C-alpha cells in the first residue's frame, strides 16, 4: 500500500506537488485526496463541474465546515464551562464563530493564496476569508474524518484563540455592569425581590428585573445577591449588543 501511495505521490504534477506541500504545512498532516481541497478553494465563477456533473465550488463545503466548527466548539464549551446554561453557551459559541473571527482565522492561514476565481481578489469583501476557512474545515472532514477535523480545530482555533475570560469580557458583576449601563443610557431599572414559598424546606429568593417597566430577567437562588446576579446576567445577554456597543 505504501508503494502505491509513493507511486501516486511521485506522479503529481508540479502544481499539485506545491499545493500538497503548502497544505501539509498548514494542516500538520498529509492530505489524502487533493480534490476536496481543490473544491474548497474554487469559486463558483470558475463554472467547474466534478466527474458527476455537479457544481465544483466551495459553497457546500462552507455548510459542512460551519457544522464541524459549531459541534467541536460546542463540545469544548460544554466541558470547559459546566455551570454555563444554554443561553450562555450559545452566546459564547457565537462569539467564537462570529464572521469577524472566521475572517481573521482565514487571513492568519493565508487561505486566499489558494483561491481559484475569475473574480479578482480586490473585488471580494472581507467575508471571503471566513468563507474559505469554513470550506477548508469541511474539506478536512471529508478528507480525513471527524477525529482529524476536531484535532485541527483544537490546534488552530481553540488553543490559540479561545480564552473564556476574554470572551466573557471579564465581567465580574453583571449587576454592576447592567446598572452602570442603565444609568449611562438613562434607563429606569428595578429589582423586585420576593421570597419563594414553593421551594420546600430550603429558603429561596426570587427576582424580577425590569428595565423601562418591562421584565427582562427572572431568577431564583438561595440568596438575594445570587438571584440578583443571575437575573442581571440574563438581562445582560438580552441587551448585549447595545451594552457592548456592537
Active site residue 134: yes
Residue 126 among known ligand-binding residues:
no
Beta bridge partners of 192: 208
Paired strand residues for 116: 42
Active site annotation includes 66: yes
Query: Which of 223, 218, 220 has the alpha carbon at shortest distance from 206?
Result: 220
Catalytic residue among 59, 134, 168, 212: 134
- Provide the grid cell at 66: 460551519
The 10 Å Cβ neighbour count of residue 142 is 18
Please answer whether residues 114 and 136 qualify as being in contact, where contact means their C-beta atoms are separated by less than 8 angstroms.
no
> 168 among the known binding-site residues?
no
- Smallest CA-to-CA distance from 168 within 70, 96, 74, 82 is with 96
Which residue in 66, 143, 150, 228 is the catalytic one? Answer: 66
Q: Which residues belong to the annotated binding site?
A: 62, 131, 134
Report, as residue numbers or ranges, the catalytic residues.
Answer: 66, 134
Q: Which residues belong to the annotated binding site for Mg(2+)?
A: 62, 131, 134
Amino acid at each position: 500500500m505504501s508503494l502505491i501511495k509513493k507511486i501516486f505521490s511521485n506522479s503529481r504534477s508540479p502544481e499539485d506537488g506545491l499545493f500538497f506541500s503548502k497544505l501539509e504545512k498548514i494542516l500538520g498532516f498529509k492530505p489524502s485526496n487533493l480534490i476536496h481541497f481543490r473544491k474548497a478553494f474554487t469559486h463558483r465563477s470558475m463554472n467547474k463541474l466534478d466527474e458527476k456533473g455537479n457544481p465544483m465550488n466551495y459553497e457546500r463545503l462552507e455548510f459542512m465546515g460551519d457544522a464541524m466548527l459549531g459541534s467541536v466548539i460546542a463540545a469544548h464549551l460544554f466541558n470547559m464551562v459546566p455551570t454555563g446554561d444554554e443561553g450562555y453557551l450559545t452566546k459564547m459559541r457565537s462569539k467564537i464563530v462570529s464572521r469577524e473571527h472566521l475572517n481573521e482565522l482565514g487571513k492568519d492561514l493565508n487561505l486566499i493564496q489558494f483561491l481559484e476565481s475569475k473574480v479578482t481578489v480586490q473585488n471580494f469583501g472581507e467575508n471571503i476569508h471566513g468563507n474559505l476557512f469554513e470550506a477548508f474545515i469541511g474539506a478536512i472532514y471529508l478528507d480525513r474524518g471527524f477525529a482529524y477535523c476536531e484535532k485541527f480545530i483544537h490546534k488552530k482555533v481553540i488553543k490559540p484563540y479561545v480564552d473564556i475570560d476574554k470572551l466573557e469580557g471579564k465581567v465580574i458583576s453583571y449587576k454592576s455592569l447592567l446598572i452602570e449601563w442603565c444609568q449611562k443610557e438613562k434607563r429606569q431599572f428595578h429589582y423586585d425581590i420576593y421570597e419563594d414559598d414553593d421551594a420546600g424546606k430550603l429558603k429561596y429568593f426570587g427576582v424580577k428585573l425590569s428595565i423601562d417597566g418591562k421584565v427582562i430577567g427572572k431568577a431564583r437562588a438561595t440568596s438575594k445577591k445570587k438571584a440578583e446576579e443571575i437575573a442581571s446576567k440574563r438581562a445582560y445577554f438580552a441587551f448585549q449588543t447595545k451594552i457592548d456597543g456592537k
